[in-house]
Amino acid sequence: MQAAVRLTGISKRFGAVQANREVSLAVASGTVHGLVGENGAGKSTLMAILYGYYQADAGQIEIEGQPARIGNSFDAIALGIGMVHQHFMLVDTLSALDNVMLGAEPGFFLAAGKKQVRIKLEALMAETGLNVRLDARVDTLPVGELQRLEILKALYRGARILILDEPTAVLTPQETTQLFETLARLRERGTTILLITHKLGEVMALCDAVTVMRQGQVVQTLAIADATTEKLAEAMVGRRVDLGRPAGSAQAGEVLLDAKDLRLRSESGVAALDGVGLQLRAGEIVGVAGVSGNGQSELLEVLAGMQAPEAGTLALGDARFEPARWLDPARARELKLAHVPEDRHACGMVLSFPAWETAALGYHENAEYRGGPAGLAMNQAVMRRRTTEMQERFDVRPRNIDLGSSKFSGGNQQKLILAREIGQAPRVLLVGQPTRGVDIGAIEFIHGQLRALRDAGCAVLLVSSELDEILALADRVVVMNAGRVTGELAIADCDEKKLGLLMASTKAAA
């Protein structure tokens, strides 16, 4: 079979970082080809080169047998390459139809063009099953539909080769299944699909072949028949990894955090929290499952004291809080409540600070970090020493405390934040998306740390959009949908299907 895409000897360097080193890759026409690797393995750079965002320092690209020079994304589109980004590239205030047409208007007059585009799109939708309400405003569409719209947009522009970057990160298990059915149908009509992902189960379910990258190089390319999840994970990390659930879980003890009937409306007036109650006990990990945007983020912020709810109560140890006098983040830390925020870039660290300054964030008033006359100065020697210890203990790489916080990879940033929060021996730990954008090796490590904390008697609340993560860590699972708790299950009763149904249901648990 002819190769739709053939990359030969692609190299790309950014400063000191060799993002791609002599990468060669052939994708057979009309197949789904998985591209897996840890963060920073060079997958995204390689795809950015293929889509014309970057120019390779060396190497050749062949598209459908013809040597190609791809100087920008217009060249890529002209060659029949389409890309669906992880973060959708849509204009919220325009209709779905207008979004497809934007930048590819067929003529000078809009109305006539629109009619033409609509006819073409309807044919395309009937053929591929990518159903989208064309006249709805984009900001009213659910995530799954937005993704179909993105794919439709690429196909409308004549894409025969489709690059999908982590397409399932924002979908429920059911939506994922639906997406995969669609992709399978596209493959039948001859579309070549390059799927970037870190979920190995998806690779096994959909792909015909898979390429594993590590440290900018291709480790191996396998036909799916020769691959297993374990084999792929090992190839990605370079050693055996275990993300499974170890036997046994700690016994839950006294209640450390008790929240009742939390209510909060978002800025647009929608109920983000609609009467949520939650108890955390010493020595247990409680997982909060749900599709992103169903109140989990707000729950974390309210419990961490970053935002006061409109109604509800919170008991934290012996302290009681009411909306008028809610917990604040500084008080939360005094009460030994630590918080690893969902958005580590915006919240967890000050990106312009060097690591040793970020490593004190939130604990900068601690006596040991203060010095000079009347404690007015920071004790930089202690701050630096503590950061060195954190980097050692949590294996943060590179071991450089003067490096800017933004210069670490996602996994290492997260390890530094965890080291900071866990280092204070909290009684309650709130964790949001602990492994989002984190590579497998680091995930294994972070999971181990959370389990160890639980075994030491800490109460852990884990909010994650990765069901696998919740199933691997939690002792008890709470499912949220539309600001309500729609179900609570002991881990023994959980499976992916049950949780998926609860995530999609709107009825509150009885």
Segment contacting other proteins (CB under 8 A): 130-138, 316-324, 367-375, 461-469? 367-375
Q: Could you give the string, one character per residue 310-339, with x where binding to other proteins holds by CB under 8 A and - elsewhere?
A: ------------------xxxxxx-----x
CB of 283 or CB of 309, closer to other proteins: 309
What are residue 68's DSSP bridge partners?
Answer: 61
Q: Which residues between 268 and 287 bind other proteins (CB under 8 A)?
A: none
The CB-of-233 to other proteins minimum distance in angstroms stands at 30
Judged by CB under 8 A, which of 8, 60, 178, 380 binds other proteins?
A: 380
CB of 250 or CB of 350, closer to other proteins: 350
Judged by CB under 8 A, which of 242, 365, 368, 493 binds other proteins?
A: 365
Residue 14 interacts with other proteins (CB under 8 A)? yes
Is the separation of the CB atoms in 10 and 46 below 8 Å?
Answer: yes
Strand 476-481 vs strand 484-490: parallel, antiparallel, or unpaired? antiparallel
Judged by CB under 8 A, which of 65, 190, 246, 372 binds other proteins?
A: 372
Computed on alpha carbons and rounded to an integer, the radius of gyration of the chain in Å comes to 25
Q: Which residues between 143 and 182 bind other proteins (CB under 8 A)?
A: none
Residue 75 interacts with other proteins (CB under 8 A)? no
Residue 306 interacts with other proteins (CB under 8 A)? yes
Residue 364 interacts with other proteins (CB under 8 A)? yes
Q: Order of strands, edge to edge, in the sheet holding 311-316?
A: 271-281, 255-265, 311-316, 319-321
CB of 3 or CB of 361, closer to other proteins: 361
Residue 375 interacts with other proteins (CB under 8 A)? yes
- Distances, alpha carbon 72 to alpha carbons 6, 50, 423, 461, 491, in Å: 18, 9, 47, 45, 49
Residue 341 interacts with other proteins (CB under 8 A)? yes
Question: Quick one: how far is CA 403 from the chain centroid?
Answer: 24
Residue 70 interacts with other proteins (CB under 8 A)? no
- Distances, alpha carbon 74 to alpha carbons 46, 117, 367, 470, in Å: 17, 20, 57, 41
The CB-of-331 to other proteins minimum distance in angstroms stands at 8
Q: Which residues between 19 and 58 bind other proteins (CB under 8 A)?
A: 48, 53-54
Measured distance CA(413)–CA(390) in Å, rounded: 12
Element (H, E) at 474: none
The CB-of-211 to other proteins minimum distance in angstroms stands at 23
DSSP string, 311-363: EEEEEETTEEEBTTB---HHHHHHTTEEEE-S-IIIII--TTSBHHHHTTTT-
Residue 403 interacts with other proteins (CB under 8 A)? no
Measured distance CA(295)–CA(288) in Å, rounded: 10
- Give the ranges where 200-334 is alpha helix by DSSP (H): 200-206, 229-237, 296-304, 329-334
Strand 217-223 vs strand 209-214: parallel, antiparallel, or unpaired? antiparallel
Judged by CB under 8 A, which of 93, 135, 352, 389 binds other proteins?
A: 352
Measured distance CA(347)–CA(370) in Å, rounded: 23
Q: Which two tokens stand for residue 92?
A: 């919220």
Judged by CB under 8 A, which of 377, 456, 490, 509 binds other proteins?
A: 377
Q: Would you give the DSSP letter of residue 169?
A: T
Q: Could you give the string, one character per residue 96-135, with x where binding to other proteins holds by CB under 8 A and - elsewhere?
A: ----------------------------------------
CB of 126 or CB of 346, closer to other proteins: 346
Measured distance CA(164)–CA(293) in Å, rounded: 22
Residue 216 interacts with other proteins (CB under 8 A)? no
Residue 421 interacts with other proteins (CB under 8 A)? no
Q: Of 337, 282, 242, 254, which is closest to residue 455 (Cα–Cα)? A: 282
Measured distance CA(52)–CA(202) in Å, rounded: 27
CB of 179 or CB of 349, closer to other proteins: 349
Q: Of 301, 415, 438, 298, which is closest to residue 358 (Cα–Cα)? A: 415
The CB-of-315 to other proteins minimum distance in angstroms stands at 20
The CB-of-352 to other proteins minimum distance in angstroms stands at 4
CB of 154 or CB of 304, closer to other proteins: 304
The CB-of-11 to other proteins minimum distance in angstroms stands at 13
Residue 88 interacts with other proteins (CB under 8 A)? no
Task: List residues near other proteins by CB under 8 A.
Answer: 14-15, 48, 53-54, 304, 306, 328-333, 339, 341, 343, 346-353, 357, 360-362, 364-365, 370, 372, 375-378, 380
